[in-house]
Amino acid sequence: MKYDVIIAGAGPVGLFLACELALARCAVLVLEKAADPVSPFKQFPFGIRGLSAPTLEALDRRDLLNALDTPQRRAHPFSKEAQAQAPRQAGHFAGIGFNADRIDSTQWPYRLPTSTPTSLMSEMAALEAVLTDRAAQLGVDIKRGQAVTAISQSEDAVTVFTDSAAFGGRWLVGCDGARSAVRKAGRFTFAGTEPSFTGYSIKADLADPSVLAPGRNLTSNGMYFQSQPGFLVMQQFDGGAAHDTGLCTLEHVQAVLRRVSNSNATIAALHTASTWTDRARQATEYRDGRILLAGDAAHIHAPLGGQGLNLGLGDAMNLGWKLAATVHGTAAPGLLDSYQRERHPIGMRVLDWSRAQAVLMTPTPEANALRAIVSDLMQTVDGATYIAGRVWGIGTRLDLGDGHPLDGHSVPNFALDTGATVGELLRDGRALLLDFGGLRSGDALVRGYRGQIRYLAARAHDQLGLGALLIRPDGIVAWACDAGVDTGTLAHVVARYWLPER
């Protein structure tokens, strides 16, 4: 069979997953419905996304972070320079800003001076270009203009049909967005809640741009956000009715703009318009036999706070090495099922985060009262630190059972005496057993897993009191210990993820 894995969708999630699989020597095909990847909604300003700490760590661990040029081309709206004349806003929740000077970073003990940034601006088009280049370097086969129309699967293979061809593979992953053809063709239940508003993204020429205030504005009829003259995002709390009609004429958009802004704003010319909602749904299972889901195919929610892209890239990082090990027959029994177990709760948490923001932005007296309380809490140190940790993904932790407090966390980016950082050591896609002096038989223990786990005895500038760590290929700490190592426990942890080499 030509392909180990077929991926539907050449967005950032599908491309990142393809890179992960190809790095692990899998034969990968990506099928993309659109013939042309260029879209105004992937470019500035609508294509701007905030990348969170886990995403930046993942990109750094694959040597992709420095390839992003958006931070050099576009100023971060929450940067120190941009906020020089005002209290430095570091982000927002439901449009309520939180300030950098209220954040207590000592509450995040595993972040080191060598850590990647907490957040960074990126452009969807630029991110896709970087991932496309890397996928090509790794030998990924990308076919555009190939929309998935049907799927069949057997016990050991999947066949994917498009309008013009059929492709065979051992596994299929749907990364084809909110309207996923893969999800609809599979036996997946997409459960959740219906929308409360219709959102609009528009580019227009305004007869008088000064009629609308800049920035984010909550009104008695909704919200509008003007990032620059003529580029607008709006929310009208109509239960998503306008999104379902697909009505984006100049007359309709102007009427919504006037209603939401409580102004007589006039659109002289409408160039681009699209709608979206806060519908929040999630697949109850991420796997159906040999078909898996990731990104928006697995979960959808309102793009409030830019959580969706980060959530999907986290899916890809988690799934990639597990599916590759399954393809190569080195995965321990049940490893692939841990993708659902680990990522589904994080997806649900993000959906609830989005729902909470929609409630706070609803133009009702009850929501206004709740908004005032949340705003007060966000001005406190603990409140700002909590919101920042959630927005930036710093507190994300997988439930790996009882163990060391670091288990399930993203590994701190230790600066080693070898001159390398942990992030740099993970760039080959293998796991890492890092020995700070607490192990005596670590090298012998992983010898049977040589192709999958690298052993390194080293020291670090700040070891956080640790003796040793087992770091998964995705950068998650599978096991950690202080001084005094139970190698029997370590052996059990290793066996939970991989089969020894034959």
The domain boundary residue, chosen from 342, 359, 376? 359
CATH of the domain at 336: 3.50.50.60
pLDDT of residue 200: 94
| Confidence label for 227 from pLDDT (cuts 50, 70 and 90) | confident
- Do residues 40 and 136 both lie within one domain? yes
Whether pLDDT at 8 is above 90: yes
DSSP string, 386-454: HHHHHHTTTT------SS-TTTTSBPP--BBTTS-BHHHHTTTS-EEEEESS--SSHHHHHGGGTTTEE
Whether pLDDT at 431 is above 80: yes
Q: Which residues pair with 148 in a beta bridge?
A: 162
For the stretch 110-145, pLDDT in tens is: 999 999 999 998 888 999 999 999 999 999 999 999
How far is residue 154 from each of residues 157, 202, 290, 462, measured CA to CA in Å? 5, 45, 8, 51
| Confidence label for 87 from pLDDT (cuts 50, 70 and 90) | low
Q: Are strands 119-123 and 48-52 parallel, antiparallel or unpaired?
A: antiparallel
What's the rounded mean pLDDT across residues 381-407? 93
pLDDT of residue 83: 43
User: What gap in Å lies between CA 204 and CA 253, rounded to an integer?
Assistant: 10
Whether pLDDT at 67 is above 70: yes
The domain boundary residue, chosen from 258, 276, 294? 276
Give the closest residue to 443 by CA, choosing from 429, 428, 423, 457: 457
- Do residues 263 and 207 both lie within one domain? yes
What's the rounded mean pLDDT across residues 248-262? 95
Percent of the chain exceeding pLDDT 90 equals 78
Which has the higher per-residue pLDDT, 380 or 71? 380
Residue 307, domain member (yes or no): yes
- Do residues 247 and 318 both lie within one domain? no
Q: Which of 62-66, 69-73, 78-82 has the lowest mean pLDDT?
A: 78-82
Whether pLDDT at 98 is above 60: yes
Structural domains in the chain (count): 3
CATH of the domain at 267: 3.30.70.2450
For the stretch 166-176, pLDDT in tens is: 999 999 999 99
- Do residues 433 and 493 both lie within one domain? yes
Whether pLDDT at 430 is above 50: yes
| Confidence label for 44 from pLDDT (cuts 50, 70 and 90) | confident
pLDDT of residue 303: 85
The domain boundary residue, chosen from 230, 247, 276? 276
Answer whether 393's CB lies under 8 Å from 52's CB.
Answer: yes
Residue 379, domain member (yes or no): no
pLDDT of residue 72: 57
- Do residues 258 and 312 both lie within one domain? no
What's the rounded mean pLDDT across residues 88-113? 92
User: What gap in Å lies between CA 112 and CA 414, rounded to an integer?
Assistant: 7
Whether pLDDT at 392 is above 70: yes
| Confidence label for 501 from pLDDT (cuts 50, 70 and 90) | confident
Q: Which residues pair with 292 in a beta bridge?
A: 173, 287
- Tell me 473's DSSP state: T
Residue 225, domain member (yes or no): yes
| Confidence label for 246 from pLDDT (cuts 50, 70 and 90) | confident
- Do residues 45 and 155 both lie within one domain? yes
Q: What are phi and psi of 345, to 5 degrees?
A: -60, -35
- Do residues 333 and 469 both lie within one domain? no
Whether pLDDT at 359 is above 60: yes
pLDDT of residue 82: 44
Residue 459, domain member (yes or no): yes
User: What gap in Å lies between CA 494 and CA 244, rounded to an integer?
Assistant: 49
pLDDT of residue 215: 86
Percent of the chain exceeding pLDDT 70 equals 95
Whether pLDDT at 80 is above 70: no
pLDDT of residue 89: 85
What's the rounded mean pLDDT across residues 252-259? 95
- Do residues 158 and 269 both lie within one domain? no
pLDDT of residue 35: 92
pTM over 0.85: yes
For the stretch 45-57, pLDDT in tens is: 777 888 999 999 9
Q: Are strands 3-8 and 166-174 parallel, antiparallel or unpaired?
A: parallel
pLDDT of residue 195: 95
Domain span at residue 203?
Answer: 198-276
| Confidence label for 79 from pLDDT (cuts 50, 70 and 90) | very low
| Confidence label for 76 from pLDDT (cuts 50, 70 and 90) | very low
Whether pLDDT at 84 is above 70: no
The pLDDT mean for the chain works out to 91
pLDDT of residue 1: 63
pLDDT of residue 245: 80
